[in-house]
C-alpha cells in the first residue's frame, strides 16, 4: 500500500508533501488508496477541534473486489499520522436495491432523531449511491446512519429513487449534503434521456426529501457536464462545485480534469469558472470526481478559506515523459486510481509559462505545471505567464498535445491537430498590447515542437504565432 499525508492547512500542506505550485494552484501527492485497487469519489471532513481529517471513498477492497465504501482517518495531534487505517465500512446488501454497487459516499454530522425507528439518535449520516443492476445503471441515493465514523446502519429504501429504468441510464447520484440551522440541503445529479441535470432537495429528518429543484446551468459547459463535490461557503455565501471536464479521452476511464466553479445561488446562477486542473497541470492521466475539504456540517472547511482544497480521483503513478499513447491510456486504468489533493487560492490568476529541454536530444516541453524533472531542465528566459481561467480578452486556450512519444505540441487547436490532448496550459491574449509577450510555435526538424518569443524561432522551423502572454 502507498500512503501520503493529509493536510490541516495550506501551510502544513506545502511542508508535508512534494508539491507543484503554479499561480493559485498547488498540486500535491496521494492521500489515500491502495496499490492495484481503485480508489475514487472521496468525501472529506476536517475537524479543527479534534485535529482530525476523515476520508470516505469508493474502493475495490482486497476482501470484496467490488464497490466498497472505505474509511481512513488522519490525526494532526503530535504530527500527521494515521489514526484509523484504511478499511471497508459499507457494502452491498444482498437482495436489496443496492445489491450490486454502493459508491459515491457523502458524510455529514448532525442530529438525526430515530430515523430508523429503533429509538436511537444518530450523529452521522452517509448518503451514498447504489443499484441492483449489473451495468451500474438505474442508480438511487440511499442513506446509512451512524453513531461514529465507522459504524453504519442502512435505511432500507432509497431516499431519492432512480428516475430511469431498463438498465440504460445512470439515474441519480453524486450527493453533496450540508446541515445548516437544522435543515439538510442536498445537491445531486440526475442523468436521464435528456442528459445530465443537477438538483437541490431539502430535508429536516434526513430521510424524507422535497422534490428536486433543477439547478441553473448558466455559465457551465453545454451539454452540462457531470460533477463531484459541491459545498456551501458560510463566509462568502457562495456555493462551490468541482465539475468534471467531459468527455473522457478515447480508451480511458475517468475524465482528464476538473474545473472549480462557484455561484451565489445554484438555482439561479450563473456559475463562474475559477480554475482548471487536468493532466497538463498534474501530470496524471485521470483527474475527476473531486471532493471538497469540508467541515462536519458539510460546508467548506472554514479555517482554510478563502482557499478551497480539492481531493481528486487521480491515476497513479504519472506516466513517463516518453510514454506511448497505449501506455498513457493504460496509466489511467481504473486499478491505478487513488485520491490526491489540489489547493486553489484566489488572488493570483497567472501561471508561469516555462520551456524545458533535454539538451542532448533537443527535445522540449512547454508547461505551466508538471514536467519530468529527472529528464528535462528548465530554460531561463521570460515567456511570460498565462491566465488559469479566461480573464477579459485573455481568452485563447493554449493546449498541450503529444505526438509519437516525445513531441509535446503547444497549440490553440482544441482538437490538437488530431494528436493526443494532455490539457490546457492556460489562456493567451489574441492581440498585442503593452505588457504582453508574443509567443510563437517552432519546430526542431526530426525532433519536435517548442515555443519561443523569437519570430524567427531561433533559427528553427517557424510554425506561426500562438498569441500573447502576460509579461
Whether the per-residue pLDDT at 46 is higher than 90: the answer is yes
CA distance linking residue 102 with residue 357, whole number of Å: 46
Q: What is the pLDDT of residue 252?
A: 78
CA distance linking residue 447 with residue 97, whole number of Å: 56
The single residue listed with the C-alpha cell 486504468 is: 333
Whether the per-residue pLDDT at 19 is higher than 50: the answer is no
Q: What is the pLDDT of residue 192?
A: 86
Q: Please tell me the total number of residues recorded for the chain in this structure.
A: 471
Whether the per-residue pLDDT at 399 is higher than 60: the answer is yes
CB of 209 closer than 8 Å to CB of 228? no
At a CB cut-off of 8 Å and minimum separation 6, what does 53 contact? 6, 7, 8, 44, 45, 46, 47, 73, 74, 76, 293
Q: What is the pLDDT of residue 150?
A: 94
**2: its cell numbers:** 502507498
Q: In Å, how far from its chain's centre is CA 399?
A: 19
pLDDT digits (tens, 9 = 90+) for 80-97: 899 999 999 999 999 999
Mean pLDDT of the region 252-272: 94
Q: What is the pLDDT of residue 194?
A: 86
Q: What is the pLDDT of residue 254?
A: 87
Mean pLDDT of the chain: 91
DSSP string across 346-391: TT--EEE-EEEEETTTTEEEEESS---TTT-EE--S---EEESS-B
- Return the DSSP state at 333: -
Whether the per-residue pLDDT at 272 is higher than 60: the answer is yes
Q: Give per-residue burial for 222-260: e unless 16+ CB within 10 Å, then b.
A: eebbbbbbbbbbeeeebbbbbbbbbeebeebbbbbbbbb
Whether the per-residue pLDDT at 251 is higher than 80: the answer is no
Whether the per-residue pLDDT at 135 is higher than 60: the answer is yes
Q: What is the pLDDT of residue 25?
A: 84
Mean pLDDT of the region 335-362: 94
Q: What percent of the chain has pLDDT over 70?
A: 94
Q: What is the pLDDT of residue 348?
A: 85
Mean pLDDT of the region 199-203: 98
Whether the per-residue pLDDT at 462 is higher than 80: the answer is yes
Q: What is the pLDDT of residue 22?
A: 57
**250: its cell numbers:** 478515447
Whether the per-residue pLDDT at 16 is higher than 60: the answer is no
pLDDT interval class at 64 (50, 70, 90): low
pLDDT digits (tens, 9 = 90+) for 288-326: 999 999 999 999 999 999 999 999 999 999 999 999 988
Q: What is the pLDDT of residue 292?
A: 98
What are residue 214's DSSP bridge partners? 199
Q: Which domains does the chain have, with CATH numbers?
A: 17-344 (2.115.10.20), 350-470 (no CATH)
pLDDT interval class at 347 (50, 70, 90): confident
Amino acid at each position: 500500500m502507498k500512503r501520503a499525508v493529509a493536510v490541516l492547512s495550506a501551510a502544513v500542506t506545502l511542508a508535508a508533501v512534494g508539491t507543484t505550485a503554479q499561480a493559485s494552484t498547488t498540486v500535491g501527492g496521494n492521500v489515500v488508496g491502495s496499490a492495484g485497487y481503485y480508489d475514487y469519489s472521496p468525501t472529506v471532513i476536517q475537524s479543527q477541534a479534534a485535529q482530525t481529517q476523515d476520508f470516505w471513498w469508493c474502493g475495490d477492497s482486497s476482501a470484496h473486489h467490488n464497490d466498497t465504501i472505505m474509511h481512513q482517518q488522519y490525526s494532526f495531534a503530535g504530527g500527521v499520522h494515521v489514526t484509523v487505517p484504511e478499511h471497508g465500512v459499507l457494502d452491498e446488501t444482498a437482495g436489496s436495491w443496492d445489491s450490486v454497487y454502493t459508491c459515491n459516499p457523502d458524510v455529514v454530522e448532525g442530529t438525526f432523531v430515530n430515523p430508523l425507528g429503533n429509538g436511537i439518535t444518530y450523529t452521522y449520516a452517509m448518503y451514498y449511491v447504489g443499484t441492483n443492476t449489473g451495468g451500474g445503471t438505474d442508480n438511487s441515493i440511499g442513506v446509512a446512519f451512524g453513531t461514529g465514523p465507522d459504524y453504519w446502519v442502512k435505511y432500507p429504501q432509497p431516499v431519492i429513487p432512480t428516475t430511469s429504468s431498463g438498465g440504460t441510464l445512470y439515474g441519480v447520484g453524486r450527493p453533496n449534503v450540508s446541515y445548516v440551522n437544522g435543515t439538510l440541503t442536498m445537491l445531486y445529479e440526475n442523468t436521464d434521456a435528456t442528459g445530465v441535470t443537477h438538483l437541490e432537495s431539502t430535508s429536516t429528518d434526513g430521510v424524507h426529501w422535497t422534490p428536486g429543484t433543477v439547478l441553473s446551468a448558466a455559465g457551465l459547459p453545454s451539454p452540462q457536464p457531470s460533477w463531484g463535490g459541491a459545498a456551501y461557503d458560510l463566509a462568502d455565501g457562495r456555493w462551490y462545485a468541482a465539475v468534471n471536464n467531459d468527455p473522457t479521452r478515447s480508451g480511458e476511464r475517468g475524465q482528464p480534469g476538473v474545473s472549480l466553479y462557484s455561484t451565489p445561488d445554484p438555482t439561479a446562477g450563473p456559475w463562474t469558472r475559477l480554475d482548471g486542473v487536468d493532466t497538463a497541470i498534474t501530470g496524471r492521466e485521470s483527474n475527476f470526481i473531486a471532493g471538497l475539504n469540508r467541515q462536519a456540517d458539510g460546508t467548506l472547511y472554514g479555517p482554510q478559506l478563502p482557499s478551497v482544497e480539492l481531493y481528486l480521483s487521480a491515476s497513479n503513478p504519472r506516466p513517463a515523459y516518453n510514454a506511448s499513447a497505449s501506455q498513457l491510456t493504460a496509466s489511467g486504468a481504473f486499478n491505478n486510481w487513488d485520491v490526491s489533493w489540489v489547493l486553489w487560492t484566489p488572488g493570483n490568476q497567472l501561471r508561469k509559462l516555462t520551456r524545458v529541454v533535454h539538451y542532448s536530444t533537443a527535445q522540449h516541453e512547454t508547461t505551466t505545471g508538471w514536467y519530468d524533472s529527472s529528464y528535462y531542465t528548465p530554460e531561463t528566459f521570460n515567456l511570460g505567464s498565462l491566465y488559469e481561467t479566461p480573464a477579459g480578452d485573455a481568452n485563447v486556450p493554449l493546449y498541450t498535445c503529444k505526438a509519437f512519444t516525445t513531441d509535446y505540441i503547444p497549440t490553440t487547436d482544441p482538437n490538437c491537430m488530431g494528436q493526443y490532448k494532455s490539457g490546457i496550459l492556460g489562456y493567451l491574449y489574441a492581440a498585442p498590447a503593452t505588457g504582453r509577450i508574443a509567443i510563437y510555435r517552432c519546430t526542431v526538424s526530426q525532433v519536435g515542437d517548442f515555443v519561443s518569443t523569437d519570430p524567427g524561432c531561433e533559427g528553427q522551423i517557424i510554425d506561426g504565432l500562438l498569441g500573447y502572454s502576460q509579461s
